Structure formats: C-alpha cells, structure tokens
C-alpha cells in the first residue's frame, strides 16, 4: 500500500517512465481549498436529500455496477446506441437538482482544478482532447458542456452517502484518456476510501479534497470501504470515446462514414482512418508524457495549442 497524504504529488509511471496515474494533491492555498471542498460536499449531500424528498432518484441511480451510492451522470456523451453526440437527458424532476450542482461555485472551482491538473500532467493528451472537442462544440451548438473552465464534456456526481466503488472499468470512456477524480466527504483516509488499482496491484490513500487522474477506460479501479458513520462523495470528469471518434470520422459514425461503400472499400477507409493496431497503440502511448519530459512537453504543446486557437478564430 502507498501512502498519499495530499502534501506532495505522487506519479505512478509505467516501465518507460510515462505518467500513467497521478495523485495531484491540492492547490497551494490548502485552507481555502479545504473550505471549498467541504462546501461542495455539503451541496452534494443537500442535493441528494432533496432528490429523495422529490422521489427523483430511482433505484437505477442508487444501485448500479459501480456500487451502492447515488450517481448522477451529466454532460455530453456518445455511444450506447446513440446515433450522434448529445446531452445526457435528465428527467424533469431531476433537472433542478443537476442545475444546483453545476451552478455551485465550489463545484465549479473543483472542476476547473481537475481540468488544470489534466493539462499539467498530460499536456499532449489534454491538447489532443482540446483539438477535437473544440471542433465538436463548434459544429453542434446544441451540445451543452458542464463547466466553462473544464475541458471534460461529462461528469458523474457521486452523492454517496458512502461512495465506495466496486472493481470496474469505464469502458465507454476514451481508452487512452484520463479521468479526473476528486475525493470528498468526512472519512479517515488512513482506514478507508483508498483508491485501488487492481491491474497494478496498488492501493493508495486518497484523502478528502485531493485529485487524481487515471485511465479509467482500461484500468480496473475501485475503493476500499470506509468506516461506519462516515460519508464519502466524489466527482469524476471524463470524455466518452465516441465523441473523439465522431470528430475523427468527420462528424459521423464509422457506419455512416462508410455507407454505400463496398465491404472491401469500407475496410480500407476505416483502416486509413484508424491505422493498424500497432500504430494506434504507439500513437496513444505517445500522448502520455514521460516524467522527465513533462516541462518540455508543456512548453511545446501549449505553444502549438495557442497557434491552433489563433488559426481557428473567426
């Protein structure tokens, strides 16, 4: 087990020293951040209680494959039978609850910090997301992102009261992408709430108010139990893989991109779009920064990204 007390970042590297999982800690103003995250947890608990009072939280959002806790997905996604990207639908009785979460200033601050952590520890991957998601939202103005200060198009508000995730992967997320998690609530992180990385054989303390990045689409993860009477919440921001593919296929699905083509030609077109397996693996791994190259990657990537933004101004 690894201890992580939120004071110094902890980077978990692969054999080639790529930063694969990051425990980023907290911003420099720790006292202010503690107040912010405490307020966010209070808002999430209040929204959950109001949801129960309004009968707006059916069994499906209370008990699911990730565990026994209230989870509300919000934002823009693509996949699971959808013909094109769209806003995750909210029943009328739940719209007000979701809006309370999205408009809460403390939650907005957390969302912005999660996105900043992503850009800092995975600059090439962050820019890869930006290039595609910027085009997506320009092409379809009906799509509503969650936060103006975050690149992630979707989030899951895990309202507890005991958010303890079972062993799982989030297969709909970008396979080579990173998900940003923040741990919230009132629990003893030395005795529970650890983030378990099953494929790596690691268990890391994940204290309240701290942020982590991990490739949730391919890496099995979950949490250890917390103690009786404790409460734990979390916010996960992520991107569905279907959104990236939609943009890369010219704002189409693979099926519609190859419609009216012969099978042989369709296979050739998709092969040209996707590359072969080895090429895809190399490209994906190349988006992760090596620890010793992070500083130069930040400089090179964001100079290029600034140029990209300028060239796309109306």
Element (H, E) at 74: strand 70-77
pLDDT of residue 60: 86
Question: Domain segments of the chain: what residues?
Answer: 10-303
pLDDT per residue as tens digits for the range 85-95: 999 999 999 99
Distance CA 152, CA 238 (A): 6
Going by pLDDT thresholds of 50, 70 and 90, the confidence category of residue 28 is confident
Q: Which residues of 236-268 are buried (b: 16+ CB within 10 A; e: fewer)?
A: bbbbbbbbbbbbebeeebbeebbeeeeeeebee
pLDDT per residue as tens digits for the range 162-206: 999 999 999 999 999 999 999 999 999 999 999 999 999 999 999
pLDDT per residue as tens digits for the range 99-132: 999 999 999 999 999 999 999 999 999 999 999 9
pLDDT of residue 306: 57
Contact predicate 216/169, CB 8 Å = yes
Distance CA 164, CA 167 (A): 10
Partners of 193 in the β-ladder: none
Q: What kind of architecture, by CATH, is found in domain 10-303?
A: 4-Layer Sandwich (3.60)
pLDDT per residue as tens digits for the range 37-57: 999 999 999 999 999 999 999
pLDDT of residue 193: 96
pLDDT of residue 314: 47
pTM of the prediction? 0.91
Tell me: pLDDT of 34 over 50. Answer: yes
Mean pLDDT of 23-29: 91
Tell me: pLDDT of 10 over 70. Answer: yes
pLDDT of residue 219: 96
pLDDT per residue as tens digits for the range 67-84: 999 999 999 999 777 889
Percentage of residues in the chain having pLDDT higher than 90: 77
pLDDT of residue 279: 85
Burial class (CB in 10 A: 0-12, 13-18, 19+), 62: middle
């Amino acid at each position: 087990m690894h201890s992580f007390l939120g004071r110094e970042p902890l980077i978990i590297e692969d054999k080639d020293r790529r930063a694969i999982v990051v425990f980023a800690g907290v911003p420099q103003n720790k006292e202010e951040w503690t107040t912010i995250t405490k307020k966010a947890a209070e808002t999430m608990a209040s929204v959950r209680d109001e949801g129960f009072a309004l009968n707006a939280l059916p069994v499906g959002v209370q008990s699911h494959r990730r565990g026994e806790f209230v989870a509300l997905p919000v934002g823009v996604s693509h996949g699971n039978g959808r013909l094109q990207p769209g806003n995750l639908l909210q029943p009328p009785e739940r719209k007000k609850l979701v809006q309370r979460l999205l408009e809460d200033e403390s939650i907005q601050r957390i969302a912005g910090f999660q996105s900043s952590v992503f850009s800092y520890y995975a600059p090439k991957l962050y820019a890869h997301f930006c290039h595609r998601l910027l085009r997506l939202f320009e092409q379809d103005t009906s799509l509503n992102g969650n936060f103006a200060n975050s690149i992630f198009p979707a989030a899951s508000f895990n309202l507890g009261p005991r958010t303890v995730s079972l062993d799982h992967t989030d297969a709909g997320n970008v396979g080579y992408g990173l998900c940003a998690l923040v741990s919230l609530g009132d629990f003893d992180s030395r005795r529970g709430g650890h983030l378990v990385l099953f494929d790596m054989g690691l268990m890391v303390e994940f204290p309240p108010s701290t942020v982590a990045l991990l490739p949730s689409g391919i890496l099995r993860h979950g949490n250890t139990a917390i103690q009786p009477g404790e409460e734990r919440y979390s916010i996960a921001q992520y991107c569905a893989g279907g959104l990236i593919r939609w943009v890369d296929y010219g704002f189409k699905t693979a099926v519609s991109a190859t419609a009216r083509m012969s099978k042989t030609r369709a296979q050739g077109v998709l092969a040209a779009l996707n590359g072969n397996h080895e090429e895809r693996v190399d490209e994906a791994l190349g988006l992760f920064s090596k620890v010793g190259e992070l500083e130069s990657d930040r400089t090179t990537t964001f100079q290029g990204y600034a140029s990209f933004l300028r060239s796309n101004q109306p």
